[in-house]
Chain A
Amino acid sequence: MNDIVTIKGLKYGLQLTFAKGASFDDVQANLLNKLESGDSFFIRGTTVFVPKGYFAEDQNEALRRMFHRHGMLFSTELKRPNLAPPSCDTVKTPAQKSKAKVEDAQKMMVINRTIRGGQEVKANCSVLICGNVNPGAQIIAGGSIDIRGTCRGFVHAGAFGDKTACVVADRLMPAQIRIADLIARAPDEDVKASQAERAMIRNNMIIFEPVAR
């Protein structure tokens, strides 16, 4: 049942592929089920790609409408969508409710508050947080993450595989940091984070370097 649709994370969204012989109705039912069960893949604002010509035009139209209803974009062209997606402001985690502001040009979600333990921010775009990320909080972004404050939570930049994404914080001391598919854990010994740092991928490893702010 679950194999009817396979979801692959790409730099700009999600690619769907389908089991051989699966009918359009099966695919649609399967996707609707995933959407309604709040599958964590389907973050609002994400673009979903279906191979061009796989379905008939009216079938694609039906899928497009279905994804739109769930706040997602639909495309058959495998490229970065150039229409400014409603991505940033449609991501309404309760954590950032009304306060998120969009800077469409840079596709950046701005959050002017501290993210506390147990709260979660998910965004397709990059995220700027003017506040702290506390222990037990999670930030997951398709792009980069910039924290104007202290980061002690869990951060994942480039969540769709973008290895050029980075994480910057005034004091970068997360419990765990992920960029694309790489993971770095906080070392157990004490290291001071006395100045702003950037974490990024170099030679397939997450490295930290000081930055001037």
Chain B
Amino acid sequence: MPTMTLLQAINDSLRTEMRRDNRVILMGEDVGVNGGVFRTTEGLYSEFGPDRVMDTPLSETGIIGAAIGMAVYGLKPVSEIQFADFIYPAFDQIVSELAKFRYRSGGEFPCPVVVRTPYGGGIRGGLYHSQSPEAYFTHTPGLQVVIPSTPYDAKGLLASAIRGEDPVIFMEPKKIYRSVKGDVPDGEYTVPIGPARVVQSGTDLTVFCYGAMVDVCEKAARKIQEEGYSVEIIDLRTLYPLDEETILNSVVKTGRAMVVYEAPKTCGYGAEVAALIAENVIDSLEAPVKRVGGFDTPFPYTLEYVYVPHPVRVYQAMQEVLQYQ
């Protein structure tokens, strides 16, 4: 089985799905000749040509709006927004249109558009090349929100997104585009949208995370395990629809929970996980649920390493939750 980076796995998934189904087309800024600014679409323009790999004008609302029209007609567009920070010009097309097409037409017009976008810190990109806007989209009924953290999942989840019948916001943790490597099967396979992944099982504490934070949590867990604790790490993978069963079962087992994410803490995705736990299994809790997120500020440049949850901050939070009496 070939070993791939996250980036290569995404590229491989796009290529595989485009070969499998000629209705799949890509569009975005610099995705064609240039192969994407991160090279996720490298080689696809030369293989599939300008009708299926489209370099678009600099208009995010155009990239999404046109994809909606194509999907309504019967194509399977995969739109790339170059950085999640630049998705806001298309917010209207995503939130008012893409998410609501099926519902407002009584099911007549499904809109299976996949929106791929790199998100999060990790490249010292400051305010506008680092944001994690996932919660805006999980708050929008009609959208599925998917975030892979391994090459295997990236390929399989993207394939599911492309083959699916509903719109998917597919967010790619750019911090680990090249740093994470793993085995990726040749050819076609899918990983279903929905189920979370147990990264490691444990009995004292459950840590919920996704994207680049999985690696951060694993680092922190290794440290706290030296102190004799047993930590369960769950990679949510799909933020909507959420795998409530896996989350709640794990908390019932461990009795302690925390959520780690890069976005500003307040009203970030961790709030949803914490509320879900409180609503359903509060009696199982032996400590308050803890959120470790970014601070409630825009994303900084020089102090990025202070802002993004760092293994040390996660480790400290683990200590707090584990030692709570």
A, B assembled together? no
Chain A interface residues (CB < 8 Å from chain B): none
